[in-house]
């Protein structure tokens, strides 16, 4: 029986780097900007949905880039 691995729902700076091609500092700034827009505290998780809504990318396009 094959075990089903659930999709990840949180985006990290490394994922943003893979998706956008930005460097780590720019990726962290983008995540900070997303937190600010959605009124999240420093250290709160950014979901794939939040990231996609902010950037205008589709979730199906982003999922293969999640490390």
Task: Select from 52, 62, 50, 54 the least CA-distant residue to 18.
Answer: 62
Q: What pLDDT was estimated at residue 7?
A: 80
What pLDDT shows up at residue 17? Answer: 96
pLDDT classification of 8: cutoffs 50, 70, 90: confident
What pLDDT, on a 0 to 100 scale, did the predictor assign at position 5? 73
Q: Which pLDDT score, from 0 to 100, does residue 26 have?
A: 97
Domain borders along the chain are: 10-65
Q: How far is 13 from 21, CA to CA, in rounded Å? A: 11
Unique residue bearing structure tokens 């990290």: 12
**pLDDT one-digit tens code per residue, 14-64:** 999 999 999 999 999 999 999 999 999 999 999 999 999 999 999 999 998
């Amino acid at each position: 029986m094959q075990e089903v691995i659930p999709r990840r729902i949180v985006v990290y700076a490394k994922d943003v780097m893979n998706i956008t091609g930005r460097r780590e500092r720019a990726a962290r700034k983008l995540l900070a900007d997303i937190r600010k827009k959605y009124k999240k505290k420093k250290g709160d998780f950014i979901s794939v949905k939040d990231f996609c809504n902010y950037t205008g990318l589709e979730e199906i396009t982003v999922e293969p880039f999640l490390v």
